[in-house]
Every structure is written in C-alpha cells, then in structure tokens.
Amino acid sequence: MYDQSGGAHYGRGSSQKVDLLTVTAEAFERDADSEDFSLLAIVAHERGHQIVARHPRLSRRLSGSSLAAEEVLASLLGALTLGSGFDSDSLVAKATAELLVNGVAPDGAVRLIEELWTTMKELL
C-alpha cells in the first residue's frame, strides 16, 4: 500500500501488546535507495514514537506538545535504540533538520539535540 506518509506508522492500541506498526510500500522503496532512510531507520523512528507514547515520564511531560517536538524525540529515541552507526546518525540528522525547519537557529539546534540526547540516555 502507498500512502505518501514516509513509510511507516505507529498506532497506539489499548496496551503495548496490541500497538500496531504499519509499514507501507514507500519504506521498502526508500530502503532500496542508498541516499534515503533505511527500513531499519524508519522502523526505529516509529519505535521512538511508541516510546514517547508509552514511557510514563515522557508521555506525561509531552502531553500537549507540538508534533515537531514528538518527531524530534521519536528520531532521537530511534537513534538510541539502534546504537551507533549510519542509521542512527541519519535519525539524529533528521531530528536536527526538524528543529531547523521549525525556526531553531543552527547553534541552538545542535545544543538542543545534545541536551536531549543526554537526557534520553539517562531516562532510558
């Protein structure tokens, strides 16, 4: 199925056991393109959304926050899930780009990513 979403969706169910990850055809096409996100990075990003939604401290602190804020955290959490490497670096770059698109100055974006990275590592 094609849906022009980027490749995957995290759907929150009534419990973590029934949460749903939908991977669309775009994810497989992106995975085939070495210049785009890998399937692993796409799935890790969606896992980041699940962590944001399911982690008690994160979900409380982020209730009512912007979609951009959740996207940044989902990318960073996905990167942490993957560990070091190209896919993790791609997700950190995605988080940084999200901040820049939303008006954060480059120096501020780098500083915020570093602070969030440290905080997320401590929380998880």
- At residue 87, the pLDDT reads 97
pLDDT tens-digit map of 34-54: 989 999 999 999 999 999 999
pLDDT tens-digit map of 51-78: 999 988 888 877 777 889 999 999 999 9
- At residue 4, the pLDDT reads 77
Q: In this predicted model, which residue has the larger pLDDT, 17 or 4?
A: 17
- At residue 6, the pLDDT reads 79
DSSP string, the chain: ---SSSSEEEE--SSGGG-EEEE-HHHHHHHH-TTS--HHHHHHHHHHHHHHHH-HHHHHHHTT--HHHHHHHHHHHHHHHH-SSHHHHHHHHHHHHHHHHTT--HHHHHHHHHHHHHHHHHH-
Q: Which residue in 46, 51, 44 sits closest to 83, CA to CA?
A: 44
Whole-structure pTM value: 0.90
- Average pLDDT, integer, range 2-15: 87
Using pLDDT thresholds of 50, 70 and 90, give the confidence band for residue 19.
very high
